[in-house]
Chain A
């Protein structure tokens, strides 16, 4: 047996004693942990797995495809297009351009869940947490990188969908600028909602830890909960409906309304943010507390 070191456990003085008595507590000079480094690390991780590439590719294709279907289905026979107000034309273009978000929310939810459950199921999380032993900086960096990447991917998909829409409906004389407020706001709002859903699912993934389990929970909340509530005939069910993450998110950029009296977009945004904060906050508490 080696001689046990006698010291008062837990006090900073005791800890300092060990440092000076045996080895000077040397932090090697040179590179060290930094917030920027952790963010860069999370970007490398997100961009070097196939699931990310696949999810964003599917998002792009689905957005463009739905825009095409919606535009081709538009039948203006018998309508004098010159009599349709510009704002109505813009609204149609905006709907077709952002329709992909309906399905996109499911795709980015899967992406968000996989971004972290992939680490838990492969054991990668242990490498992550030994590199960032305070743990939470890794979660925040992951959330930030996922948010930005998904927002950009959503924006690209929506703009691509706009291009598809315009190129089809212009044949019928319909026109709308991308930068018309009726178009650009839904395009931006839809992308913002997608990015927030991804972060929401990231939180679920961190809580549940298994890939299949967290995808089921995230999709259940986004897809199943509104359907179930709409099937319940009680008034409370229809009262609760606008406060679901997907209802608030979809109505945020004007695609559909779920409340009897439409909520202001800022209220919708706050509702979505609350869902995200609760999910990510719970994830942070559990990540910090649990053994990895």
Chain B
């Protein structure tokens, strides 16, 4: 259980995290999603006391992280794979971490084995690939067998096998009743791993809901209908919960009703359909539409120079996120897996 209340962090005049509230429940995988610079990492750093909040508070199991008697055994954290001295071996790094809490050596060997680092554990970390560093970071997070896991971009640099391993591990840990918080800008990864999404944009919580609900907010399931009698069909379907948008002359986009129901009603009324397609929104659509709204809201609201600059940043970040879908083969694979 992690609870944040009016949590705020400023860097100079820039507000990185802007009075956010959230509660992260045990037994679920919660995804912290947002474009670069949205405040994901800063939020995580504040949870474990690396950054001091300017106002508000965040509590871990009802206590400030700094006041925990055995922090490593309550919270395991992977902030970035580089939080390790490059001149030391993985095993010595883990032994040094374990020593602070008098965690036995056998546990160090256990997490080394669990993360598949046995063959390189005595080599200096400086020579590790990004993926191995990431595994070592996860090993360090698991060292104290903690009830809460906080992982910033855990699949960064992992091969597809590693990605799947992390996904299964997170699901397994949440299944044991642990609290799992992970951040990512990979929507497809989140859709597969997370139960619940907290979406951040420009330091604010844009959405905080189960994955299905977030997707629903982006329009949910829509049905695309092509018919020479589009107008008649639109009139026929007109109900309170049904939205009909006329895309082209004979194409309708309908939400709030299933494709089967539309087909039935059209058949009963003798309306000819040329196309009837169910189009379900993805988490990615939800993410894009929610972050776009955030940008538009900001631009409309102020319009001074500072915000204009920020807007272009956010747009860049969104473009980056979109660009991630294609060039990187690893991520393409993920996207495909997600579909």
**Residues of A that sit less than 8 Å from B by CB:** 1-5, 7, 9-10, 15-16, 18-20, 22-23, 25-28, 30-34, 36-38, 40-42, 44-45, 48-51, 118-119, 122-127, 129-134, 289, 291-292
Residue of A nearest to B209 (CB): A1
Return the contact of B48 from the options A3, A45, A123, A133 (Cβ within 8 A).
A133
Give bound CA distance, A5 to B3, whole Å.
8
Beyond A23-B26, A38-B99, A124-B84, 13 additional contacts (C-beta under 8 Å) are A3-B23, A18-B59, A22-B3, A28-B74, A32-B101, A33-B100, A38-B100, A41-B97, A44-B95, A50-B87, A118-B85, A122-B84, A292-B51
**Given A122-B85, A127-B84: A37 in contact with B74 (beta carbons within 8 A):** no
The interface centre, meaning the residue of B22, B26, B73 with most chain A CB atoms within 10 A of its CB, is B73
- For the complex, give the distance between the alpha carbons of A133 and B75 in Å: 12
A32 CA / B95 CA spacing, docked (Å)? 15
Assuming the contacts A34-B102, A41-B97, A126-B50, asked whether A133 and B84 have C-beta atoms less than 8 A apart, the reply is no
Q: What residues make up the interface of B, taking CB atoms closer than 8 Å to A?
A: 1, 3, 5-6, 21-23, 26, 45, 48-52, 56-57, 59, 61-66, 68-75, 77, 79-80, 82-89, 92-93, 95-97, 99-104, 140, 147, 205, 207-209
Q: How far is the CA of A20 from the CA of B69 in the complex (A)?
A: 17
Please report the C-alpha to C-alpha distance between residue A10 and residue B53 in the assembled complex, in whole angstroms: 13
The answer to whether A27 and B68 touch across the interface, beta carbons within 8 angstroms, is yes
* In the complex, chain B residues whose CB is within 8 Å of the CB of A28: 70, 73-74, 147
Chain B residues with CB below 8 A from A126, complex form: 50, 79-80, 83
Complex contacts, A129 vs chain B, CB 8 Å: 49-50
Instruction: Looking at the assembled complex, report how far the CB atom of A264 sits from the nearest CB atom of chain B, in whole angstroms.
Output: 41
In the bound complex, how far is the Cα of B79 from the Cα of A36, in angstroms?
A: 26
Chain A positions within 8 Å of B85 at CB level: 45, 49, 118-119, 122, 124
Report, nearest first, the 9 A-B pairs whose CB atoms are least far apart: A19-B62, A32-B70, A41-B99, A48-B92, A4-B21, A124-B85, A44-B96, A31-B102, A126-B83
A149 to B324, CA, bound (A): 50
Contact partners of A41 in chain B: CB under 8 A: 96-97, 99-100
- Greatest chain B CB density within 10 A among A10, A36, A40, A131 is at A131
Q: Which residues of B contact A119 (CB under 8 A)?
A: 85
The 28 listed contacts between A and B (C-beta, < 8 Å) are A1-B21, A1-B207, A2-B21, A4-B5, A5-B3, A7-B5, A9-B5, A16-B62, A18-B62, A22-B62, A27-B69, A27-B74, A28-B73, A31-B73, A36-B102, A37-B100, A38-B99, A44-B95, A48-B89, A122-B82, A122-B83, A126-B79, A129-B49, A130-B50, A130-B72, A133-B71, A291-B45, A291-B50
- Roughly how many angstroms separate A49 CA and B89 CA in the complex, as a whole number? 9
Residue of B nearest to A41 (CB): B99
Contact of B97 among A16, A50, A123, A131 (CB under 8 A): A131
Nearest to B11 among chain A residues (CB) is A291
Q: Which residues of B contact A9 (CB under 8 A)?
A: 5-6, 56-57
Return A165 CB to nearest CB of chain B, in Å: 35
Residue of B nearest to A125 (CB): B83
| Residues in B neighbouring A292, C-beta threshold 8 A | 50-51
Given contacts A4-B5, A22-B62, A30-B73, A131 and B21 within 8 Å (CB-CB) = no
Distance between Cα atoms of A238 and B314 in the complex (Å)? 60
From A20, A122, A131, B72 is in contact (CB under 8 Å) with A131
Query: In the complex, what distance in Å separates the CA atom of A31 from the CA atom of B100?
Result: 9
Chain B residues in 8 Å Cβ range of A34: 101-102
Nearest to A52 among chain B residues (CB) is: B87
Task: Determine the chain A residues whose CB is within 8 A of the CB of B5 once the complex forms.
Answer: 4-5, 7, 9
Find out whether the CB atom of A31 lies under 8 angstroms from the CB atom of B103: yes
Complex Cα distance A248/B283, Å?
Answer: 68
Q: Does A31 lie within 8 Å of B101, measured CB to CB?
A: yes
A127 with B70: CB separation less than 8 A: no
Residues of A within 8 A of B96 (CB): 41-42, 44-45, 48
Determine whether the beta carbon of B3 is less than 8 Å from that of A18: yes
- A119 to B96, alpha carbons, bound, how many Å? 13
Check A122 against B86 for contact (C-beta < 8 Å): yes
By beta carbon, the residue of chain B nearest A118 is B85
